[in-house]
Amino acid sequence: MTAPALALAAALGVLIGGSLGLLGAGGSLLTVPILIYVFNQGPVEATATSLVIVAANALLAAVTHWRQGGVVWRVALEFGVAGVAGAFAGFWLNTLVAGRTFLFLFGLLMVAGAAAMARRPQARDEGTVRPGRSAAATAGAGVLIGVLTGFFGVGGGFIVVPALHLIVGLPMRHAVGTSLVIIVINSLTGFAARLGVGAANWPLILAIMAGGAAGAVLGGRAAHRLPGRTLARAFAGVLALAGLVVIIRHLP
Number of structural domains found in the chain: 1
Burial readout 39-73 (b: 16 or more C-beta within 10 A, e: otherwise): bebebbbbbbbbbbbbbbbbbbbbbbbbeeebbbe
Q: Which of 168, 101, 104, 170 is nearest to 138 (CA)?
A: 168
Q: Which of 130, 160, 158, 131 is nearest to 143 (CA)?
A: 160
* Residue-level pLDDT, tens digit, the chain, 252 residues: 788 889 999 998 888 877 766 666 666 777 888 888 899 888 878 888 888 887 887 787 788 888 888 888 888 888 888 888 888 888 888 888 878 888 898 888 888 877 877 775 554 444 455 544 566 777 788 888 888 888 887 777 777 777 787 777 788 778 888 888 988 888 888 888 777 665 678 889 899 888 888 887 777 677 666 665 666 677 778 778 888 988 998 887
Task: Determine the angle formed by the axes of helices 99-118 and 135-152, rounding to 10 degrees.
Answer: 140
The answer to whether residues 204 and 12 touch, using CB atoms and an 8 Å cutoff, is no
Amino acid at 72: V
Q: Which domain holds residue 218?
A: 3-249
The answer to whether residues 194 and 91 touch, using CB atoms and an 8 Å cutoff, is yes
